Amino acid sequence: MKIIELGNAPSFGGKAGNLNKIYSTFDVARGFVLKDEWFQEFLRINRISTTEPLKTIKQKIENGIFPDEDKLLDYFKKNEYDKVIVRSSASVEDGDNFSFAGLFESFPDTDKRTLISNIKKCWLSRFQTQVETYLESINISKNFSYDCLIQEMKYTPVSGLAFSIDPSTGEDTFLIEAVSDTCNNLILGKTTPHTYRKISDCDDILDCRKYQTVQKTLKKLKKIFKKEIEIEFGFQNDTLFIFQVRPITKTVFSLKDHIESVNWCCFKNNDWTLFNRSLWIMGAVDYKHPRIENEVTEDITIYFPDASGQIRGFNGGEPPLSEETIEAIHLTDIDTFLDEYNLIVEKIYRISKELSDYIEDDSFEAFRKSLRKLIENNCLLETLEYLIGSLGQALHDKLDAKTIKKIETWRNDESNSYFPIYSDVFAYLGRQFKMSILPEDLRMYSHVKEIINLCENRLSSRTLSARILKRKRSGFVLFNLHNKRYHNKVLTDSDVLETVKNRFATLQEGKKKTIEEGTLKGRATFKSDKTITGKCLVIKGPLEKYKDELRSKIIVCKVTTAKDVKYLKSIKALVVDNGGILCHSAIISRELGIPCIMGCDIATEYLHTGDHVLIDLNDEIIKKL
């Protein structure tokens, strides 16, 4: 029988295994493990049967002979252990599905004098009624290994529990509880903790520095375990010690509550097809660039029946890139990202040529493999688009004119984002699978994963056709939430559509009500001391239809594209609902010197043709006169 120190073994079960996994990279109290063999030897020499009554087992354990007692006590003394905590480390606890939280007893403040008796008590808790009941309720065998973990006590003036996700709601937000007491008293419910969900909750128990330390630790552990996790922790000065780490086994998530609680920043979308939007999500999230430290911002898009419109809302509480991501990127990296992007574009055009040949030859098997390559490379493109675009916004004031010009040229080049081959792809799929669906409807109402599954014979054309018809007739919602159940997920439930529709309407109405004295707020594409006054012309369709009315007007529109340049040269100013300072409208305005306010969200609803307004580029406002 061996005594095994934490950090010196490839694997353990339960909590010892989880701590052993992070022992070399995090501050974990030193300790050692008595493997299950030690426990089994104790049962054998004391003739204890696991089928005996609990009272009998208790009596035999308390009075039993402890194997190699002198060896253990000598080890304890030789390694200069003083006060320790004795805890279970069963193979079934602290796993992916079941925690056994609090079912096995722990014994803090154990010294050499009480070590043997407390190990016996820890073993005894293996047979407690609550453990037996729990095992039966989750249908797990009673035959599992039961290691014993002995760790050095750390007396920490601040202790707590922290979760990488709120388990009570399923919300993707850190949840921390902390006390000026021992962690053991906290988990036993003997003290009431302070709760921290955001940095503004910090106080004299958990200050901002400690809060950020816990937050960064959770992020790192989540990457290591590849799961949502919870920890027990304590601070000695500014050093965070991890006492326990385990996967969060269950969360309660209410989609309705999440929709209604988040401050979604809503705007009318640019007529994205479901295929393109779901492809973007797949790329940005599933193929997330390794330089992006944070989660991709949540968003929801509601598509109204018969393609009558779309509204997209992104989570206003989540910046596209975290401070850690931005700080770790050098300005010269942007050139590297742009080069990566352009190389992938070249590859996509080569694949497009292959696909075109396979379509012409009606070689479906080759087409299928080539389409998968096209989609995978398009995904790599989308994650770079998210990274470059977000960096351009975040670092705009720090970038030199040459880099800004590069980003604007990249953003303005439609050949980098629209690939004509997809029109041929959807027409070919319609013919290949003998679908009565129009190619444009196939693209408008099909999810990228459905197209993949159709080609891989995992989804029938009949089923996909039925889904398309329902989505076209009733509308649908595309979710991009951190909760895995609603990641890149399409729902057509009428109650879900109504919830999203009402929430977005409430938020947009709320924005209207917060406009004081007829003032709209946005973001100027460039600053100037000059103020502009004039009459509005609100654009409700293609700009070309209004070409004879544009001169000397303040144009109010949802969005513009590079194709609109020839119509904008004579206007006085531009006010745009959507977009940031690197989108098409912003680029055009800077290049032509046109005063422009972006991201006004509801300008096309709030302002009317003929309204007399003032634009202040320094204060970034539009005011009715």
Domains annotated on the chain, with CATH:
3-152 (3.30.1490.20), 158-247 (3.30.470.20), 259-502 (no CATH), 516-624 (3.50.30.10)
Tokens of 357: 């040949």
One-letter amino acid of 29: A
Asked whether the beta carbons of 16 and 89 are under 8 A apart, the reply is yes
pLDDT of residue 410: 83
Mean pLDDT for the chain overall? 88
Kindly state the average pLDDT of the residues 582-604: 75
Query: CA-CA distance, 206 to 235, in Å (whole number)?
Result: 10
pLDDT of residue 523: 79
Given pLDDT bands bounded at 50, 70 and 90, which one contains residue 188? low
Please count the residues of the chain: 625
Residue-wise pLDDT for 469-503, tens only, equals 999 999 999 999 988 889 999 999 999 999 999 99
pLDDT of residue 502: 92
Instruction: Look at residue 513 and tell me whether its pLDDT is greater than 60.
Output: no
Query: CA-CA distance, 211 to 535, in Å (whole number)?
Result: 51
Given pLDDT bands bounded at 50, 70 and 90, which one contains residue 587? low
Residue-wise pLDDT for 400-414, tens only, equals 888 878 887 787 776
Strand partners, 487: 480
Query: CA-CA distance, 328 to 568, in Å (whole number)?
Result: 39
Neighbour order of strands in the sheet with 175-179: 194-196, 175-179, 158-163, 229-236, 239-247
Residue-wise pLDDT for 291-338, tens only, equals 998 889 999 999 999 878 899 999 988 889 988 889 899 888 999 999
Asked whether the beta carbons of 282 and 385 are under 8 A apart, the reply is no
Instruction: Look at residue 220 and tell me whether its pLDDT is greater than 70.
Output: yes
DSSP three-state, residue 559: coil
Query: CA-CA distance, 11 to 489, in Å (whole number)?
Result: 37
DSSP three-state, residue 461: helix
Number of helices and strands (H, E) in the chain? Answer: 22, 23
pLDDT of residue 204: 92
Neighbour order of strands in the sheet with 84-90: 3-5, 31-34, 146-152, 84-90, 107-110
Give the range with max mean pLDDT: 92-106, 387-401, 450-464, 546-560: 450-464
Kindly state the average pLDDT of the residues 407-430: 85
pLDDT of residue 182: 80
Which helix or strand (DSSP H or E) is residue 225 part of?
helix 208-225
DSSP three-state, residue 300: strand
Residue 611 CA, distance from chain mean position: 42
Q: What is the CA radius of gyration of the chain?
A: 31
Query: CA-CA distance, 118 to 85, in Å (whole number)?
Result: 9
Instruction: Look at residue 31 and tell me whether its pLDDT is greater than 80.
Output: yes
Given pLDDT bands bounded at 50, 70 and 90, which one contains residue 216? very high
Instruction: Look at residue 532 and tell me whether its pLDDT is greater than 60.
Output: yes
Kindly state the average pLDDT of the residues 571-600: 76
Instruction: Look at residue 95 and tell me whether its pLDDT is greater than 90.
Output: no
pLDDT of residue 561: 66
- CA–CA–CA angle 589, 532, 390 (5° rounding): 35
Residue 597's φ and ψ, nearest 5 degrees, are -115, 120
Given pLDDT bands bounded at 50, 70 and 90, which one contains residue 208? very high
Give the range with max mean pLDDT: 176-180, 263-267, 427-431: 427-431
Residue with tokens 């302070």: 194
pLDDT of residue 501: 93
Kindly state the average pLDDT of the residues 547-553: 90
pTM of the model as a whole: 0.65
Residue-wise pLDDT for 330-364, tens only, equals 888 999 999 999 999 999 999 999 999 999 999 99
Query: CA-CA distance, 71 to 2, in Å (whole number)?
Result: 10
Instruction: Look at residue 387 and tell me whether its pLDDT is greater than 90.
Output: yes
Tokens of 19: 């701590």
Instruction: Look at residue 156 and tell me whether its pLDDT is greater than 70.
Output: yes
Give the range with max mean pLDDT: 28-42, 128-142, 310-324, 587-601: 28-42
Instruction: Look at residue 584 and tell me whether its pLDDT is greater than 60.
Output: no
Residue with tokens 């020839």: 566
> pLDDT: is 38 or 251 the higher one?
38
The maximal CA–CA distance of the chain, rounded, in angstroms, is: 100
